[in-house]
Structure 1
Amino acid sequence: MRNRTTARTRKGTGRAVVALVAALAAGAVAAPLAIAAASADPAATAADGDPDDLLLPTPEVPRISNSAYAGFQICGSPQGDPLVTSGSPTLAATLESVAPPGTVETTEPGPRRKVVFEVDTLAGAEVLRKQLTSDTSHDAAYQLPEGKLTDGDYRWRMRVKDGNTVSAWTAWCAFKVQRG
């Protein structure tokens, strides 16, 4: 009789351990999601509710590099404004990967969203405004043509359009061009 009681106790303890592990795993998954939702951009979270909202989440992690094959410098970094040593830098940002409210995201290959890039002098004079179509719903990049930028201080930003929906602009990303 004692062996059966010990076996039942072990079995019950095993079930309790499994239940505890499952609860901890669920909490580990839910906590980051709750934190992310709480710290999300208010404009992005507002777009999740009302069917009349016509906002996409603002693109994230604006970055710039010397060329299409160089490493990226992150905008707004504590190390200061990015320094570009070529006349043809690449601008990029991460787009949200979920279809806007009321639409269905497809898995078909091909162009996804229109992406608008703006480049100004640091004083605010427009240098370039370019609208492209992103090949993915995750990232957008644009390499400026050679000769558009001379040495000096600039800033750039971008936003995404999908039909009648549009994101807010990213924050301006200041950068310096210094060739030679």
Structure 2
Amino acid sequence: MRVRTQQPQRPQQPRKGVRRAIIALVATCAAGAVATPIALAAASVGPAPAAVAGDDRLLPTPEAPRISNDSYAGFQFCGDPTGDPVVTTGTPTLAATLESVAPPGTVEPAQPGPRRKVTFEVDTATGKPVLHRQLTSDTSHDAALQLPEGTLSDGAYRWRVRVKDGDTASAWTAWCSFTVKRG
């Protein structure tokens, strides 16, 4: 007589599809765990971006407003605690750094689409308008405007800038005070 012995049962392996789903879920959780602190940190730094109603894209306010005697001279940054910038020419260059509008995680194309419109405003220190100029930025990362001869005389002024991309506009930068002293 033969006695049958029962073979121990092997644990059943999950199917490939289930295994893949588990791996995908774990990878998604890991990516979220890394991205969340980065997103929270980014949200707490710098000025809040502005959005136009009906548009879900955001445009950050231009950063690092600066002024120079000309396009080849060094820039003085606005908001320097040591004092307002002083230029020795009536044709200073105003500049600001623009941020990309490409959604996070994407790469801007080598040949960007329509360039963005940048608006510069220059007033006297008392708020009297001197110049309102809109130009198209040659790059998506910064904009500069050299003021034409005869626009400014010696005295105190202020300027600000904002950027538009289609129907979306950023907030204006804070006013940047400066003095023209040619003498």
Amino acid at match of 1:36: A
**Is residue 2:167 matched to residue 1:164?**
yes
Q: Does 1:40 align with 2:43?
A: no
Structure 2 counterparts to residues 25-64 of structure 1, below 5 A: 34-42=40-48, 44=49, 47=51, 52-53=55-56, 55-64=58-67
Instruction: Name the CA distance, whole Å, in 2 between partners of 1:69 and 1:98.
Output: 28
Q: Structure 2 length normalisation: TM-score? A: 0.71
Instruction: Report how many residues are paired.
Output: 149
Structure 1 partner of 2:137? 134
- Asked if 1 retains the 8 angstrom alpha-carbon contact of 2:68 and 2:93, the reply is yes
Q: Separation in 1 of the partners of 2:73 and 2:38? A: 32
- Deviation of 1:135 after TM superposition, in Å, equals 0.6
Query: 1:60-92 deviations in whole A, cap 9, x for unaligned?
Result: 000000011100000001111000101100000
Partner of 1:113: 116
Call closer, same or farther: CA 1:134–1:111 in 2, change over 3 Å. Answer: farther
Cα distance in 2 for residues equivalent to 1:153 and 1:34: 40
Instruction: Assess, with a 3 A threshold, how the Cα gap between structure 1 residues 91 and 99 changes in structure 2: closer, same or farther.
Output: same
Answer whether contact 2:117 2:163 (CA < 8 A) is retained: yes
Code of the aligned partner of 2:94 = L
Structure 1 portions without partners, runs of 5+: 1-25
Bigger CA radius of gyration: 2
Residue ranges of structure 2 left out of the alignment (5+ in a row): 1-32
**SS state at 1:35 partner:** helix
Cα RMSD (Å): 2.9
Q: State the AA in 1 paired with 2:59.
A: L
* TM-score, normalization by structure 1: 0.72
> C-alpha separation between the residues in 2 aligned to 1:38 and 1:93?
21
Tell me which residue corresponds to 1:155. 158
Partner SS state of residue 52, structure 1: coil
**Alpha carbons 2:93, 2:145 under 8 Å: kept:** yes
- Greater helix share, structure number: 1
